[in-house]
Structure 1
Amino acid sequence: MRKIIKILICDDSITIRKKLQGAISIDKEIEYYEAKNGVEAIKMYKDVSPNIVFMDIIMPEQDGIEALKQIMTYDPKAVVIMLSSVGTKMNLKVALESGASDFIQKPWDIKNLNTVLSKYI
């Protein structure tokens, strides 16, 4: 029996969430979960215990950095890969200091996205 990989994608853009699902290409069975802000991401994380989270930084209601901090408090072993088009060094530094496993700049390169993903599968 193949292990199912659970991936939570948190971005306020449904287009980005769907494009990210389409860009992921790994030789595993994947279940996708979606959240449109940090509040939903935290609840979804607690409900489904995903293997990997892709988290946008700039979102309404609760941003990705705050959601990351709360997820890491709940599960210090969580694998959270931050995504941001803002991509400033400050955001990167704060995300990594807050427990992010990795950081991918939007728009992402499909090869780079899958290389980063394969490090955590």
Structure 2
Amino acid sequence: MAKVLIVDDAAFMRMMLKNILMKGGHEVIGEAENGLDAIEKYKNLQPEVVTMDITMPVMEGIEAVRHIKEFDPNAKILMCSAMGQQLMIIQAIEAGAIDFIVKPFQEERVLESVRKVLSN
């Protein structure tokens, strides 16, 4: 079981992920709707796993990953992307993300990715 911070500008996507994670036995300890908010919440809540959307207002996900990894080099971040964002996924992994999940979310894939980042 992991303490998870969900970062996505769409409330609907956060709710979907929250339901999948909770059903999988994880605890959602916080939600953020942009990268700036994510950095603050990461520092305050210290989650074990972060699910990070790529495209968001204020500060996008890849930039937020860089900041979080500067603060905590051991941060376990899972990127969330829509189909066709392969280049951004590569940039996210270069920035320090460990894995990625594609929208629309598939329950088994999400839970498998969380297990993967926890064991990394």
Q: What's the counterpart of residue 32 of structure 1?
A: 29
| Distance 1:110-1:116 versus aligned 2 partners, 3 A rule | same
RMSD (Å) for aligned C-alpha atoms? 1.4
- Please report how far the alpha carbon of residue 31 of structure 1 lies from its aligned counterpart in structure 2 after TM superposition: 3.7
Q: 1:84 aligns with which of 77, 81, 86?
A: 81
Q: What's the counterpart of residue 38 of structure 2?
A: 41
Question: After alignment, is 86-95 or 104-113 more displaced?
Answer: 86-95
Check whether the contact 2:99–2:117 (CA below 8 A) recurs between aligned residues: no
Q: What's the counterpart of residue 68 of structure 2?
A: 71
| Distance 1:86-1:66 versus aligned 2 partners, 3 A rule | farther
Deviation above 6 Å: which 4+ runs of structure 1?
Answer: none
Q: Residue 58 of structure 2: SS of its match in structure 1?
A: coil
In the alignment, residue 67 of structure 1 is paired with which amino acid?
A
Question: After alignment, is 96-105 or 83-92 more displaced?
Answer: 83-92
Matches within 5 A, 1:43-58: 43-58=40-55
- Please report how far the alpha carbon of residue 109 of structure 1 lies from its aligned counterpart in structure 2 after TM superposition: 1.1
Structure 1 alignment gaps of length 5 or more:
none
**Sequence identity percentage:** 37
Q: What's the counterpart of residue 104 of structure 1?
A: 101
Q: Residue 82 of structure 1: SS of its match in structure 2?
A: strand
- Per the normalisation by structure 1, the TM-score is 0.90
After superposition, what is the alpha-carbon deviation per residue over 1:67-101, rounded to whole angstroms, capped at 9, x for unaligned?
A: 00000011010000000115422101100100001
Q: Aligned partners of 1:33, 1:87: CA distance in 2, in Å?
A: 28
Structure 2 alignment gaps of length 5 or more:
none
The structure having more radius of gyration, on CA atoms, is 1
- Per the normalisation by structure 2, the TM-score is 0.90
Matches within 5 A, 1:14-25: 14-24=11-21, 25=23
